[in-house]
Amino acid sequence: MAKLYFYYASMNAGKSTNLLQADFNYRERGMSTMLFTAAIDDRFAPGTITSRIGLEASATPFDPGTNLAALVLERHRTEALACVLVDEAQFLTSGQVDSLARLADAHDIPVLAYGLRTDFQGELFPGSARLLALADSLVEIKSVCTCGRKATMNLRVDAAGGAIGEGAQTEIGGNDRYVALCRRHFVEALGSA
């Protein structure tokens, strides 16, 4: 029976790289996959999953109004899908996560979702919260804080590297805007913001 997987981590832990490797593994064995990425993520080419180490693949962009299950089932009718992979899964809505779980349960299509667990204030993203509640398998991808401990938090920083403690939950950025830290250093940095 297919499962819904949630691979989560802090920024810069290699989530997209892991997704692209999983996709490659399926395709190398002659299996078809379908990739999704958040339309809001405009750091690279639209509809592209790009890793920091230079790997990339085309993907279907999604936003809160996208019916992912309908797109998957439409493609699955003409080309048997072995797996669905979702990058930036924190931007999924609760309803989209529910529909991905139904793809695994009712249509026997494994779904691998990759994303952040928490935002720059330590709060869960709605998509991540629902994935944490529903996923059959939760896998933490490890990253490292500057002190060497496991990084679990995402600190938003300004152009000078100073901590930012307030603002909209979603602000797209990479190393220029976010630093992965352990909880202790995250709390210390926010205390100085």
Looking at residues 89-93, what average pLDDT do you find? 96
Hey, what amino acid is at 92? L
Does 136 show up as a binding residue in the annotation? no
CATH fold label, 4-141: Rossmann fold (3.40.50)
Token pair recorded at residue 129: 């919260």
CA-angle at 37, arms to 14 and 102, nearest 5°: 105
Active site residues: 88
What is the helix (H) or strand (E) element at residue 60, kind and residue range?
Answer: strand 60-62
pLDDT value of position 175: 60
User: Can you give the residue ranges of every domain in the chain?
Assistant: 4-141
**Structure confidence by residue, pLDDT tens digits, 56-69:** 788 999 999 999 99
The verdict on whether residue 182 carries a ligand-binding annotation is yes
Structure-model confidence comparison of residues 40 and 80, the more confident one: 80
Task: Identify the pLDDT of residue 165.
Answer: 74
The model's confidence at residue 53, banded by pLDDT at 50, 70 and 90, is confident
Q: Is the pLDDT of residue 124 over 60?
A: yes
- Tell me, yes or no, if the pTM score tops 0.85: yes
Cβ count within 10 A of residue 186? 24
8 A C-beta contact, residue 16 and residue 50? yes
